[in-house]
Chains A and B, each alone.
Chain A
Amino acid sequence: MEPVLIFALIAVGVFAGTLGTLFGIGGGIIFIPVLTILFGLSASEAVAVSLVGIITASTGAASYYVKNDLANIRVGLLLEITTSAGAMVGAVFAVYVSNWVLLVIFGFVLVYSALTMIIRKEKMVECSEHGDMNFSFTDNKCGTVGRYEVKNVKSGLAMCTAAGVMSSMTGVGGGTIKVPLMNVHMGIPIKVASATSSYMIGITAFSGAIVYFINGDMLLDYATAIAVGAFIGSLIGTVISRYLDAGPMRRYFSILLLAISAIIFLEAGGVL
């Protein structure tokens, strides 16, 4: 492999890994179009390489967020159950529904989530005395300990199933839905929501990546270069997160969601 190509792939990995780590979105929305359009990979090759990048960024981020009391492992495991089940259901039914219809629906969901996050202020539910969903976290910017109660667990689980179905049918990562869902609907602080999503995304990507890998459909050199970049990106993302307050982070996340929805609408219209 040409050194120039290696450096270009590493640069893509750094960019996608940084955004993925900072906002808990994985980075597939960046990896796949770039790998297919700029690097000429086929769709399945791009997906396989992208999954390795997502796992690397997610694991790098999770190792920091888990240790520093930001990612909520327990809630992550719980929501991952219905997300994974939804992804399986979505994979079965994907052949029966036109992709552009799903992309348009997904695009509108993201616009709605972005606008909700801009309009509504973050509200944390005070912990109830005997609540079994009470948790705490340490803000990595100011070091203060915050307490919150996870609300709407059942409806949150149901929505995660829908997120799994949608992401599996459209190929867009579930983090873009899960972060606003955890933050707005379940009352989980934005920093915890994006950190928990980072932890979950690696688990979701594992099942897909291992199959591509075992079947020998993985371009090893491309995957390695992307992984190295994504690893560096995860380090940069965790450093930036230390300097971000919850308010600006929600605003930036909303802008990112609007940008992603624009890409999705272009894809639905056949432009991308």
Chain B
Amino acid sequence: MKIDTTTSLVLKCCLFFGIVLSAIGLFLSEHEYGDPIMWTGLLIMIVSPFAGVLTVYSNLIKEKDWKWVKVATLLIVIMFIGLIFSMLRN
């Protein structure tokens, strides 16, 4: 499958499951299991852009497009540094 198609599919799946789960959680928020369902749905939604980057990364490796693999690697490293940096600041 093309890089665009797989990336789009991963983003769509994450978003769809995230939205459905969190909406179910919101609907059941009066019950004790509402919050955990909402929490899981939101987590899936929040990680979807990162899942998209990882999908692009694996596709670039498959395509042996080494110039852009380097770019994606650098971005993933920067994202991890940013994540650690944000956690330390909080």
Contact = CB atoms under 8 A, between A and B. Distances in A.
Contacts of B86: 91, 207-208, 211
Given A52-B42, A56-B15, A63-B12, A224 B26 contact: yes
B56 A77 contact: yes
A81 B39 contact: no
A213 B35 CA distance: 13
A84 interface: yes
A149 interface: no
A213 B82 CA distance: 15
Nearest to A225: B26
Contacts of A6: 26
How many chain A residues sit at the interface, stated as a range, is: 35 or more
A224 B25 contact: yes
Interface stretch (A34-42, A66-74, A100-108, A183-191): A66-74
B22 A227 contact: yes
Contacts of B43: 213
Given A73-B56, A223-B42, A91 B89 contact: yes
Nearest to B57: A77
Interface string B57-90: 0000000000110011011001101110111011
Interface in B1-20: 3-5, 7-8, 11-12, 14-15, 18-19
Interface residues of B, number: 47
Contact of B79 (A55, A91, A207, A225): A207
Given A52-B42, A56-B45, A63-B8, A221 B82 contact: no
B15 A63 contact: yes
A220 B18 CA distance: 13
B49 A81 contact: no
Given A69-B4, A210-B46, A210-B47, A84 B90 contact: no
Interface in A185-228: 199, 202-203, 205-211, 213-215, 218, 220-221, 223-225, 227-228
Contacts of A64: 8
Contacts of B71: 74, 77-78, 81
B75 A224 contact: no
A66 B49 contact: no
Given A74-B71, A81-B71, A55 B53 contact: no
B52 A84 contact: no
A59 B42 contact: no
A60 interface: yes
B14 A59 contact: yes
Contact of A77 (B12, B42, B53): B53
A220 B42 contact: yes
Contacts of A225: 26
Contacts of B74: 81
A52 B38 contact: no
Nearest to A223: B42
Given A215-B90, A227-B42, 8 more contacts: A56-B15, A202-B52, A205-B49, A207-B83, A210-B83, A220-B42, A224-B22, A224-B26
23 contacts: A1-B26, A56-B18, A59-B14, A60-B15, A62-B49, A64-B8, A66-B11, A67-B8, A74-B71, A77-B56, A81-B74, A91-B86, A203-B53, A207-B79, A213-B43, A220-B25, A220-B35, A221-B38, A223-B22, A224-B25, A224-B26, A227-B22, A228-B22
